[in-house]
Amino acid sequence: MIEGQILNKYFFLIFYVMFFLNGCHVSNHINDSIIQKNNTNLILLDFDTAIENIITKITQSKNISFYENTLFFVDVQKNNTNLIFNEENLINLIKKKLFQKNKNIYFLEKKIIEENKKKLGILNINNHLDNNVSMLLARQNHVKYYLNSTILDKNNSYEIKVELVLVKTGEIMFTKTEKLYYLK
């Protein structure tokens, strides 16, 4: 009986060592595949050119007036893709392109937006504001134009849609969708 217990202990020890070694080997393959999958999901899109084209069309539009100190509220409304990108950088790119085309405009600051969200009791809501809340914030701050953008996935091809809304009436003054090309 003692020999059987010793054999069981050795069998258990050998089984445990084999399981441990095999488990480590499997986990290495799992980590490698995760790294490969993460690397293949890295997509670089040319937001700069797409935004430049859209902003050029906005500033050339005869329906839109840019007079001294025109106030804009720029926001990323939705990301309808599986892409992960820095929305604040996209907002800043849009602001930069607008300002390059027309120096008579300025933008509602993020600090003011956050203060107003706090007053309205919506500070804990995620970064994406729906259109109604965005328009309310814009009206409270006497904004002339609300510019929102949406990132779209069209059969693994990505697009950015930009809408310019006249805050006073809620009328969509301009809308344009531009394809996002891959960076080379």
pLDDT tens for 2-20 read 555 665 666 666 765 555 5
Sign, CA dihedral 111-50-67-103, equals: positive
% of the chain exceeding 70 in pLDDT: 73
% of the chain exceeding 90 in pLDDT: 47
Q: How many CA atoms lie within 13 A of 35 on its CB side?
A: 6
12-26, 32-46, 90-104, 155-169: which range is least confident on average? 32-46
* pLDDT, position 27: 41
- The total of other beta-carbon atoms located within 10 Å of residue 120's CB is 13
Checking if the pLDDT of 143 tops 90, the result is yes
- In CATH, what class is 47-180? alpha beta
Confidence class of residue 21 from pLDDT cuts 50, 70 and 90? low
Contact criterion met (CB below 8 Å) for 160 and 85 = no
Name the residue ranges covered by the structural domains of the chain.
1-42, 47-180
The average pLDDT across 61-76 equals: 88
Q: What is the mean pLDDT of the chain?
A: 81
The average pLDDT across 108-127 equals: 81
* pLDDT, position 28: 42
Q: How far apart are CA 28 and CA 176, in angstroms?
A: 47
* pLDDT, position 8: 64
The average pLDDT across 118-144 equals: 83
Calculate the alpha carbon distances from 154 to 35, 79, 118, 149, 178 in Å. Answer: 26, 12, 36, 16, 12
The average pLDDT across 42-49 equals: 84
Q: How far apart are CA 98 and CA 142, in angstroms?
A: 19
Q: What is the pLDDT of residues 82-112, one digit of tens each?
A: 888 888 999 999 999 999 998 889 999 989 9
